[in-house]
Amino acid sequence: MLSKLHGTALRKLGQSSAVASKYVATRSVLNPLLWLSAIITPICILASLFAPVPLLYALIVLAFIPPVAAVIAYTCFAVTYPNRLQSEEFVLQQQWVAAQIGDNKTKEVITLEGSAATPTANTAMIDGSKQ
């Protein structure tokens, strides 16, 4: 009976994580660590409910290692490389805009349309006239 309950709980956890993975849109340097936290922490906490005392302490410590590592990594990247906390698409668009502005000697307002891989630019002069 108890193993059937564990199997059902683990199956539901697997299904919910598969559904959640479809909706993750932000891709930053912390995503792998956050996924590790989302998988390891609940499993360790559930397992600690049924574990003997020596194993209980090890599972609780193991459950809190990934979230603590994520907070430390976030702090380190926020101080040293804040751009790596942004999504890949945002960084690519930012680099593309910087390259477009750097190539043109006149001041232009650039709007992006399309994806980051194939952006198109509509440029207008600052005073509102088209180029």
Residue 81 has a pLDDT of 81
Residue 14 has a pLDDT of 66
pLDDT tens digits for range 47-74: 999 989 889 999 999 999 999 999 999 8
Distant-in-sequence, close-in-space partners of 69: CB < 8 Å, separation ≥ 6 = 33, 37
